[in-house]
Amino acid sequence: MSDDNADDHADSSGTTGERIELVGLTKRYPGQAEPAVENVDLDVAAGELVVFVGPSGCGKTTTMKMINRLIEPTSGSIRIDGRDVLAMQPDQLRRHIGYVIQQIGLFPHMTIAQNIGIVPNLLKWPKKKVAERVDHLLHLVGLDPTVHARRYPRQLSGGQQQRIGVARALAADPPVMLMDEPFGATDPITRLRLQDEFLRLQRELRKTIIFVTHDFEEAIKLGDRIAVLRERSHIAQYDTPANILARPADEYVASFVGGDATLKRLALHTVGEIDGEPGAPADLPGVAPTATLREALDVMVARGSDRISVDGTVVTFAQLSAAVRAADAVDRQQTTAGH
C-alpha cells in the first residue's frame, strides 16, 4: 500500500486500486437478536468494480460502512492490500477510501471548490496544490472549473451535484471507493448519463470499487462482478454478470435475474462495439459509446428513429439487431464453454 506519500500521485489519475478482503466479517447491533451481517468472506481483486445487490435490510450498507469504519465490526477482519483496516489511523483511511452516497452530503455553505477540497485540506496539502487538484477533478467529471468552482451546491442540478460527490471522493486519489446507491436519486436520463461517465472514468482510473444498488440492470452494466446478497449479507452468488444471468446459482438468485434474462443480457454489451458510418447529422438522437445495446434500443423506440448517433457516427437499427444476435450467440457459447 503506497500510503507513504499521497502527494506523489495526487496530480495523476493513474493510481490503480488495491485488493480488499473481508474475512468472517460480522456486525451485531446492540439489542438485536440476529446479526445484521454474519460471517461474510469476500475477496475483491485490485481494480475491480464489485456491485452488491440484495433486498432492503439484507445488510449491504452495514457491510460497506464497516470497510471505512463508519460502523465498527463486531468480529472479523478487513484488509486492503493486505493491511488491517481496523489498525489504520483516520487520516490514512480518508486517503485510502473515497465514499459516495445517494444523499451526496455536499456542505451547502461551501463552494464546489471547497467541497471537493475537504480531504486534501484535512491532509494539509498546500493551497496551490489543492486548487490544481480541484480543477483537475472538475475536468475529470465533465464540469468546467471556470463555471462551477465558485458556485454553491444549490446552484447545480442534481446530476451535477452527484458528479461533485464523485469528484470529492476522488480528491485524495484513493485506491478504494465505496459507493452507496450514488445515482439512485436522479431521474432515468441523468442516471444513464452518470453511469456512462462513471464507466469511462473507471476504465481510466481502475480503482477498486464496491458499489451498492437496488437496480439489477445497473449492476449488470457497471459490475465486473456482482455479489448477490441474501439476509445478513450471506453471499448467494459472486460472479460476473454474464455468468449470473446465464447460470443463477439457485432459485433466490434466479428471482433477481427475473424472467427476461435475454433482454438483460443486452446490458452486457455497449453500442460502442458497433462500427457506425461517420457523419451523423446533428439532429439525430444520440447515445454515448458506453450506452448498452438495451439503452440504445430504448432510445430508438422512444424517439421513433431507426438510426442513432454514437460519437458522431450513425448506427442503424439493422446493425443494432445484428449486434444483439451476435452478442447473444457469443455469450451463450462462452457461458456453456466456460463450465
Nearest-Å Rg of the Cα atoms of the chain is 21
> For ligand ATP, which is the closer residue by CB, 104 or 271?
104
Under the binding rule (CB under 6 A), the answer on residue 32 touching ligand ATP is yes
Candidates 52-60, 139-147, 165-173, 197-205; binding stretch for ligand ATP (CB under 6 A): 52-60
In the list 24, 57, 258, 312, the residue contacting ligand ATP (rule: CB under 6 A) is 57
Burial class (CB in 10 A: 0-12, 13-18, 19+), 200: middle
Under the binding rule (CB under 6 A), the answer on residue 101 touching ligand ATP is no
Using CA atoms, how far apart are residues 81 and 140, in angstroms rounded to an integer? Answer: 26
Backbone angles phi, psi at 307, to 5 degrees: -135, 155
In the list 20, 40, 48, 61, the residue contacting ligand ATP (rule: CB under 6 A) is 61
Under the binding rule (CB under 6 A), the answer on residue 70 touching ligand ATP is no
Q: Which amino acid is at 154?
A: R
> For ligand ATP, which is the closer residue by CB, 54 or 241?
54
In angstroms, how far is CA 53 from the centroid of its own chain? 12
Under the binding rule (CB under 6 A), the answer on residue 72 touching ligand ATP is no
In the list 5, 12, 56, 146, the residue contacting ligand ATP (rule: CB under 6 A) is 56
All three cell numbers of 68? 471505512
In angstroms, how far is CA 109 from the centroid of its own chain? 28
Using CA atoms, how far apart are residues 285 and 249, in angstroms rounded to an integer? Answer: 39
Give the interface size with ligand ATP as a residue count (CB under 6 A).
Answer: 11
In the list 22, 36, 119, 291, the residue contacting ligand ATP (rule: CB under 6 A) is 36
Using CA atoms, how far apart are residues 224 and 216, in angstroms rounded to an integer? Answer: 13
Q: How far is the CB of 256 from ligand ATP (least distance, A)?
A: 13
Residues with Cβ < 8 Å from 292, sequence gap 6 or more? 221, 266, 267, 268, 269, 270, 271
> For ligand ATP, which is the closer residue by CB, 14 or 30?
30
Number of C-beta neighbours around residue 9 at 10 A: 14
Backbone angles phi, psi at 315, to 5 degrees: -115, 130
> For ligand ATP, which is the closer residue by CB, 5 or 56?
56
Chain contacts with ligand ATP (rule: CB under 6 A): 29, 32, 36, 54, 56-62
